[in-house]
Copies of this chain bind each other. A is one copy, B any other.
Amino acid sequence: MAIPKPSIPKGTRDFNPSQLAKRNYIFDTIKRVFRLYGYQQIETPTMENLSTLMGKYGDEGDKLLFKVLDSGDFTKGVDMTNTNTPKLATQLCGKGLRYDLTVPFARYVVQHQSDIVFPFKRFQIQPVWRADRPQKGRYREFYQCDVDVIGSTSLLHEAELIIIVAEVFKQFGTSVTLKINNRKVLFGIAESIGYADKMVDITVGIDKLDKIGLDAVNEELMGKGLTQEAVNALRPILELSGTNSEKIDQLRTILSASETGQKGLDEMAQIFDYAEKLGVNGMEIEFDLSLARGLSYYTGAIFEVKANDFVIGSISGGGRYDDLTGIFGLTGTSGVGISFGADRIYDVLEGLNLFPAEAGSTTDVVFANFGEAEMCATLPLAQGLRDSGVAAEVYPSNQKIKKQFDYAEAKGATYLVFIGENELVEKVATVKNIVTGSQENVSFTDLSNYFSMIIK
């Protein structure tokens, strides 16, 4: 019987060496920047108790949780004929796969609160799983990369996260715009036109302005129950323009009656001031009233990052939350965080050809193999290269040189070194640069020096 070619579950991926090297380049860059600002990495388990996860992502989220069957006799004490399958699932499965990094982080903070010195600046880079319908760019297993500081209300952290974003994308060599808004300002807008309870509808409306135009937005808002008067009052807000500080100045007047709105504007002014003092490395920061972000737990600043030279959704986003850990019984710990979208950043860097060449290569030098005696002479030379930090391989068998050449190329090596019969006698290696095609003779004793000078 023929064995069928194996496959992997839909929506999941293997990462081959080249893809993984590029992903690692992304994560390593981000980690390096995080560390410069004193953020510390943690990891949480892949499986959480299902009770930790259920009810945290809405009804739809509950359905999208991957649930892990209990070990042993999972039917024990369970009515297996129960036709309420969501309920039955929770009886068969005590554990589920991590759905995001936010809820496990909140759980971690509450569970380990007595060991944590606050403010707790943490980052976390781990995969998450969602039983979503897979489609282009949407996977059932994907990495999240979150950075948060919890246990401090200082707006310095908002500014720090903005600078981190600027620094990360500067290192990637790609131009981005950080859009920032504030939930308190959004509330102030809703409040000042008399519809504090319709903040979400109004924000959605503002968000559509670019796409459908002012009249259509007004119509939609009136459909949601806003009066003509309220819609008219919204108009100057929708047409707000100018620099960030000009926007703040105009909003000061417009939102003069809203205490919350004024508080939001104070926050924005303070964040811009701190960010300027830290230096934003030329990244554009745009106070964008149409930025809403779906997550209901945000209470202050909200962020989103867009690539300027590549068409794709937001590549990073986050905001301030005042009560993330409340779901686990610890109230009053404000925090702010931002998440980097690794898959989209990958697409941007790939699309703009911004991955450094090294990210794809794993070997610097391959020594060709001309037979047992030659190979044995090669071994200590290859080892000398490694001792100097140069990644080197000895091709393991005496194959046709074409095959060895292809191998070196596939590994991303720049150099193929020939040590044949003549070279062995002369103690001089023939070094071929397989990118340029040029060739040089280098004595055995100079070899590791030669390469360690070229390859850093």
Given A16-B42, A16-B115, A17-B40: 20 more A-B contacts, CB < 8 Å = A5-B110, A9-B48, A12-B47, A14-B43, A17-B122, A21-B41, A24-B41, A36-B386, A37-B392, A47-B141, A63-B71, A64-B71, A66-B69, A69-B69, A156-B394, A277-B380, A278-B379, A278-B380, A279-B380, A279-B383
Question: When chains A and B are docked, how far (Å) is the Cα of A121 from the Cα of B392?
Answer: 12
**A137 close to chain B: CB less than 8 A:** no
- By a beta-carbon cutoff of 8 Å, the part of chain A in contact with chain B is 2-9, 12-17, 20-21, 24, 35-49, 52, 63-64, 66-69, 71, 73-75, 80-81, 83, 85, 88-89, 92-95, 97, 107-108, 110-112, 115, 117, 119, 121-122, 127, 129, 131, 141, 149, 152, 154, 156-157, 163, 273-274, 277-279, 327-329, 362-363, 366, 375-376, 379-380, 382-383, 386, 389-394, 396-397, 406-407, 410-411
Q: Which of B38, B74, B156, B329 contacts A3 (CB 8 A)?
A: B329
* Nearest-CB residue, chain B, relative to A154: B396
Question: When chains A and B are docked, how far (Å) is the Cα of A389 from the Cα of B222?
Answer: 54
Question: When chains A and B are docked, how far (Å) is the Cα of A6 from the Cα of B329?
Answer: 9
Q: Which of B277, B363, B396 contacts A156 (CB 8 A)?
A: B396
A111 engages B69 (CB within 8 Å): no
Given contacts A3-B329, A157-B396, A362-B35, contact A9 B45 (CB under 8 A): yes
B38 engages A8 (CB within 8 Å): no
Q: Which of B45, B83, B277, B389 contacts A379 (CB 8 A)?
A: B277
* Nearest-CB residue, chain B, relative to A80: B80
Taking the nearest CB of chain B, how far is it from the CB of A74, in angstroms?
6
Question: When chains A and B are docked, how far (Å) is the Cα of A325 from the Cα of B166?
Answer: 46
Question: When chains A and B are docked, how far (Å) is the Cα of A9 from the Cα of B73?
Answer: 18
B67 engages A362 (CB within 8 Å): no
Q: Which of B6, B48, B157 contacts A328 (CB 8 A)?
A: B6
Q: Which of B5, B39, B131, B274 contacts A111 (CB 8 A)?
A: B5
A391: B residues at CB distance < 8 A: 35-38
Taking the nearest CB of chain B, how far is it from the CB of A59, in angstroms?
15
Given contacts A45-B13, A46-B127, A397-B154, contact A362 B38 (CB under 8 A): yes
A45: B residues at CB distance < 8 A: 8-9, 12-14, 141
* Nearest-CB residue, chain B, relative to A63: B71
Given contacts A6-B107, A131-B71, A406-B117, contact A38 B411 (CB under 8 A): yes
A13: B residues at CB distance < 8 A: 45
Question: When chains A and B are docked, how far (Å) is the Cα of A117 from the Cα of B404?
Answer: 10
A67: B residues at CB distance < 8 A: 68-69
B69 engages A41 (CB within 8 Å): no
A2: B residues at CB distance < 8 A: 329
A375 engages B156 (CB within 8 Å): yes
